[in-house]
Structure 1
């Protein structure tokens, strides 16, 4: 049974490291949440380390630049690890071949153009039309403000018939940009699987992004890790798979499910909702604070 807590400080002494989601926890895609920033600063001030673990399909430095634009202070975190980092590593390793059909927005150019030091000199990735591709790399829809996965049905059917695998750089299905709900790469990957295609994932809830975070932070096997996230199928499922405790942020993607006060979820509604999804995060709270 999940325990509703009032603040991160209530339990922070029990943990050494925080794996904190971004969208829906630290910001809403437009502006940072001041209380969440203060909570992360407080965790670090008490000696903890904060990894911003995000399913953003871009390498970490582009996430950092976005946080700078939102005026998130650098003392709120130690390290950023993105789904883009883990998926990029797989792409350059040739997980779906080296000639790829890229489904991506202009803002994700860095995923293809910025070659990590460990892959300098390796066989390059070439973006080609679908009929020449060995595989698909998806960082997001071409236009996530107007398109849905169904808009790609004909092209994905061709890809499936050719046996192409789809590398998904962001397993998230939806995000909220302010008040607007958008489809992510995970929605397209899921749709492709429903059609009978094969999708490969590297962000939450899948192990590669957690392995990368531990490796970059140099964590010992006995490190006490706490995950924070609003995605029940990504953040909370991923934490369960890694055997780590989690705080479910109820005021994120599922903000309208737990009563009228986003900051204070109603316990009976929350328990029923979690039970229906087979989820059991150790803690829950309305907004990160």
Structure 2
């Protein structure tokens, strides 16, 4: 049976021939048997007028900014969503504390008062290591092999009562905040290549100690380049047979923190992110609607050469079917202005 394709025009920012060509191209894209639905948007206005969601859970890198600059239109879009009465919560797989994220956003031109809160995987890691109210964390030792940043700035372990050890044979567990360096006993860091870090992980895996990953992202967008993140080390450690505790998206701990912060059920939330594996899968696993920002870390896979351009729809279809991770909505970038809305079905 052929797919049922529903195409509806919504209030447009433009009636240019370009928008009409996008409209027609999408109609022709889908013609085979499909089972999953999502909506392709050209902006977020439709989700706010009238308001569909009480809480927006926003990724930052690849959605609001690229680590260097705010994306065009992102500040205005935040203001409009907040103006609709929704709460804006940044949930970020950042190794750093929440206060650091506030400072970064402010330095990039964002008004911190727009956000009802910030939850980072680094903040959760700090909290769980400090309080040890979770049984798994309570059983951890105090001696850690600390994998951190050098050029991006090391992560402080102040207040955690941990002893940093350089010899992996002496470690009770691994704590991965970064991918550039190893923490030293004197408080400094020693730059280390990924090959060197993998060699240390192999020794730790042979000892059977656990690893905490304070940032589950595999890569991140940094001024259009992709940088390896601690989640990649976590995957390598799992492949070595090691146990890994991930502290952010797509795992439940960060979404539980969001509902505890807001008092809002998952059914009244929406996730916005550029990673199918972390943001969109995190939403799906917790039954939270999601918006996939196509122009982030998947931009090259989707044939997007410039921020704001539409993805190539055949590549979008192929990527989502390959990953088997289905968003509720897709947009080229985080922006307000809505041109056309197209609903089509995807097969598993």
Pick aligned residue for 2:253 from 198, 201, 208: 208
Name the residue aligned to 1:24.
Answer: 62
Deviation at 1:88, TM superposition (A): 1.7
Q: Secondary structure at the match of 1:182?
A: strand
Name the residue aligned to 2:276.
Answer: 232
Gaps of 5+ in 2: 1-36, 183-190, 336-348
Pick aligned residue for 2:114 from 67, 70, 76: 76
Name the residue aligned to 1:157.
Answer: 202
Pick aligned residue for 2:171 from 133, 137, 140: 133
Q: Higher relative CO (CA 8 A, sep ≥ 6), structure 1 or 2?
A: 2
Name the residue aligned to 2:96.
Answer: 58
Q: Secondary structure at the match of 2:155?
A: helix
**CA shift in 2, pair 1:75/1:6, >3 Å:** farther
Moved over 3 A (4+): 146-151, 259-262
Give the TM-score taking structure 2 as reference length: 0.75
Name the residue aligned to 2:44.
Answer: 8
Deviations 1:223-255 (A, max 9, x none): 510100001110001000110100000000011
Deviation at 1:143, TM superposition (A): 4.9
Name the residue aligned to 1:101.
Answer: 145
Gaps of 5+ in 1: 116-123
Deviation at 1:270, TM superposition (A): 1.1
Higher helix proportion (structure 1 or 2): 1
**Quick check: 258-267 or 159-168, which moved more?**
258-267
How many Å separate the matches in 2 of 1:147 and 1:6? 43
How many Å separate the matches in 2 of 1:232 and 1:224? 21
**CA shift in 2, pair 1:103/1:40, >3 Å:** same
How many Å separate the matches in 2 of 1:131 and 1:80? 36
Give the TM-score taking structure 1 as reference length: 0.90
Aligned residues: 278
**Quick check: 43-52 or 82-91, which moved more?**
82-91
